[in-house]
């Protein structure tokens, strides 16, 4: 099995209050994207491709190992991953693809390894998940609680998400040009592919707002 990872890193840092792309925001002095790439390689991924804001290639190249390929991203995460998929070499012997968020810098290599093991075991698509500890509700347009799904069946979905390469490529090829999904498992599910789960890890939390970055700083200092 030869695994290639696409790291989605073309987002802005607006919700973090940053004036540079979120993936370049430092965590203990190193950009989030550098942490994320290191974790993937340590977990068993052979090659990494990073989708970056079109005008920021040089800034990303300066902080990543030279063998990491950079590809211009799109307006949405879905468009960025699509650009990453298009940039995979056509004849690569890469048979599995992991898609990861640069915004999950401290994802332990064990999570990567669990995703790869599920693929090696025959899963066509796999996501790391965690239980939901809060009661979680659906609201209507007025903000009133409309439903409360049983918590035991709910999971929080993390990345990296792993896929048989052709399954992921075919699912993206079948999408409308302007389709937008928040993760890649949703894309393959839309194509009717079952998605397996493995255990995620709280340390793979996504950095979205300043508080998340402060938590991650504490994690590194521990
Ligand atoms: O915005 P959010 O935190 O959900 O983004 C998840 C990941 O997708 C981030 O790592 C971000 O850099 C990436 N992204 C992207 N292209 C976009 C928007 C987000 O690669 N247009």
The per-residue pLDDT string of the chain (222 residues; one tens digit each, 9 = 90 and over) reads 899 999 999 998 788 887 899 999 999 999 999 999 999 999 999 999 999 999 999 999 999 999 999 999 999 999 999 999 999 976 657 799 999 999 999 999 999 999 999 999 999 999 999 999 999 999 999 999 999 999 999 999 999 999 999 999 999 999 998 899 999 999 999 999 999 999 999 999 999 999 999 999 999 998
Instruction: State whether the beta carbon of 73 lies less than 6 angstroms from ligand 1.
Output: yes
Q: Who contacts 65 (Cβ-Cβ below 8 Å, separation ≥6)?
A: 37
DSSP state of 18: -
Collapsing DSSP to helix, strand or coil, 28 comes out as coil
In the three-class reduction of DSSP (H, G, I as helix; E, B as strand; rest coil), residue 212 is classed as helix
Distance (Å, whole) CA 206 – CA 202 = 9
101 lines ligand 1 (CB under 6 A): yes
Query: Count of CB atoms within 10 A of residue 140's CB?
Result: 9
Backbone phi and psi for residue 20, each to the nearest 5 degrees, phi listed first: -135, 165
Contacts of 39 (CB under 8 A, 6+ apart): 105, 106, 107, 108, 109, 112
Sign of CA dihedral 211, 213, 219, 222: negative
The closest of 33, 49, 121, 130 to 82, measured between CA atoms, is 49
Phi-psi region for residue 29, left (φ > 0), alpha (ψ -120 to 50) or beta?
Answer: left
What is the domain extent for residue 39?
3-221
Q: What is the pLDDT of residue 94?
A: 79
Tokens found for residue 11: 């987002």
Q: Could you tell me the CA-to-CA distances from 30 to 9, 24, 98, 114, 177 in Å, in that order?
A: 15, 8, 23, 26, 35
**Cis ω before 204 (30° cut-off from 0):** no
How far is the centre of ligand 1, averaged over its atoms, from the C-alpha of 74 (Å)? 10
- Tally of domains within the chain: 1
* Interval between CA 160 and ligand 1 midpoint (Å): 13
CATH of the domain at 13: 3.90.550.10
Q: Which of 72, 76, 80 to mutate to test the pocket of ligand 1 (most atoms within 8 A of CB)?
A: 80
ipTM of the complex: 0.96
Cut 0.90: pTM above it: yes
């Amino acid at each position: 099995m030869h695994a290639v990872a696409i790291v989605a890193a073309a987002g802005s840092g607006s919700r973090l209050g940053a004036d540079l792309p979120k993936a370049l925001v430092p965590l203990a002095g190193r950009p989030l994207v550098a942490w994320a790439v290191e974790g993937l390689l340590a977990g068993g991924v052979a090659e990494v491709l990073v989708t970056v804001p079109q005008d920021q290639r040089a800034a990303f190249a300066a902080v990543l190992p030279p063998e990491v390929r950079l590809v211009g991203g799109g307006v949405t995460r879905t468009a960025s991953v699509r650009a990453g998929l298009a940039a995979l070499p056509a004849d690569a012997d890469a048979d599995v693809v992991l898609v990861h968020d640069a915004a999950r810098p401290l994802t332990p290599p064990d999570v990567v390894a669990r995703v790869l093991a599920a693929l090696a075991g025959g899963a066509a698509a796999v996501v790391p998940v965690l239980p939901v500890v809060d009661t979680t509700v659906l609201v209507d347009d007025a903000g009133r609680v409309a439903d409360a799904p049983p918590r035991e069946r709910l999971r929080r979905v993390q990345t990296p998400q792993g896929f048989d390469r052709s399954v992921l490529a075919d699912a993206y090829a079948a999408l409308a040009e302007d389709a937008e999904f928040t993760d890649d498992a949703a894309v393959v599910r839309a194509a009717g592919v079952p998605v397996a789960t493995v255990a995620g890890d709280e340390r793979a939390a996504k950095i979205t707002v300043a508080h998340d970055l402060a938590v991650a700083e504490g994690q590194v200092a521990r």
